[in-house]
């Protein structure tokens, strides 16, 4: 092979590599990542509330199925492999439910923010209209007698837009703090429930394992007694023949 041939091959290698990679890249363009959870799109607060309630029920069902699978695994020969598969199935199901829960919760938070912004915009519009109406009203002319009188204090103006904004922000901060505290309580309750479910599943699995071991020991003992009885009977029969 001549040096010029080597040079041509060296120049063609990157082109061939790109040509081989192009079909694989084309197949992935526009496609969702493999294994990504299926997350339905939320269109209303009512739908989000229903979704969150369904997620709570589905999460409890996932833990219940895992407890059943765990009991079945203890009756199989390859216990650890079966348990690993059950845990992976539970992990995937919980991850999918968590993605759905996050999407619905985000929709509710965004809806709250949108409503707050709309309320502020409406208040600003009304304030502007009121100020324009007050500015358009003609001021009464002062009479000579009224000029000698003591000035009358002007009526106290209502809260300004900045004051209303500050009051609204304070209420919003209190509401968010209450929501955060409520979310923390709900998360603690969910964690406690899941922990109890796990402990209950472990207790049931331990009881099932003990029952299985006791049954195996009982069967072995009965088998030994049967063989012992057969040996005694055979010995007795042999003695009679003699």
Q: Where are the domains of the chain?
A: 42-133+183-211
Q: Tell me the pLDDT band of 150, cut-offs 50, 70 and 90.
A: low
Tell me the pLDDT of the chain averaged across its residues. 77
CB 108 within 8 A of CB 47: no
Predicted confidence at residue 30, as pLDDT, reads 36
User: Tokens 């358009």 — which residue?
Assistant: 136
Element (H, E) at 231: helix 161-241
Instruction: For residue 168, give every residue at least 6 positions away whose Cβ sits within 8 Å of its Cβ, in sequence order, or none.
Output: 116, 119, 120, 123
| Mean pLDDT confidence for 123-145 | 77
> Within 13 A of 7's CA, how many CA atoms are on the CB side?
3
pLDDT digits (tens, 9 = 90+) for 165-180: 888 888 888 888 888 8
Predicted confidence at residue 152, as pLDDT, reads 55
User: Looking only at Cα atoms, what is the longest distance across the chain?
Assistant: 155
Predicted confidence at residue 203, as pLDDT, reads 86
Spatial distance between the Cα atoms of 153 and 134, rounded to a whole number of angstroms: 17
Angle CA(76)–CA(80)–CA(83) in degrees, nearest 5?
Answer: 85
pLDDT digits (tens, 9 = 90+) for 31-74: 444 555 568 889 898 998 999 999 999 999 999 999 999 899 98
pLDDT greater than 50 at residue 197: yes
């Amino acid at each position: 092979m001549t040096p010029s041939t080597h040079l041509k091959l060296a120049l063609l290698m990157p082109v061939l590599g790109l040509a081989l990679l192009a079909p694989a890249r084309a197949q992935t363009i526009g496609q969702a990542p493999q294994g990504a959870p299926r997350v339905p799109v939320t269109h209303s607060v009512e739908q989000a509330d229903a979704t969150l309630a369904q997620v709570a029920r589905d999460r409890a069902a996932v833990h219940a199925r895992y407890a059943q699978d765990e009991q079945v695994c203890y009756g199989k020969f390859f216990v650890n492999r079966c348990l690993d598969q059950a845990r992976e199935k539970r992990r995937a199901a919980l991850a999918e439910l968590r993605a759905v829960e996050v999407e619905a919760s985000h929709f509710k938070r965004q809806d709250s923010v949108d409503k707050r912004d709309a309320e502020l915009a409406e208040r600003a519009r009304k304030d502007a209209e009121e100020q324009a109406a007050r500015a358009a009203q003609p001021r009464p002319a002062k009479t000579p007698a009224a000029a000698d009188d003591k000035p009358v204090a002007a009526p106290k103006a209502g809260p300004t837009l900045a004051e209303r904004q500050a009051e609204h922000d304070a209420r919003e901060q209190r509401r968010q703090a209450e929501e955060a505290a409520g979310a923390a309580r709900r998360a603690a309750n969910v964690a406690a429930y899941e922990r109890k479910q796990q402990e209950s599943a472990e207790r049931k699995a331990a009881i099932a394992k003990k029952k299985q071991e006791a049954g195996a020991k009982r069967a072995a003992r009965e088998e030994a007694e049967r063989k012992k009885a057969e040996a005694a009977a055979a010995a007795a029969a042999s003695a009679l023949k003699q």
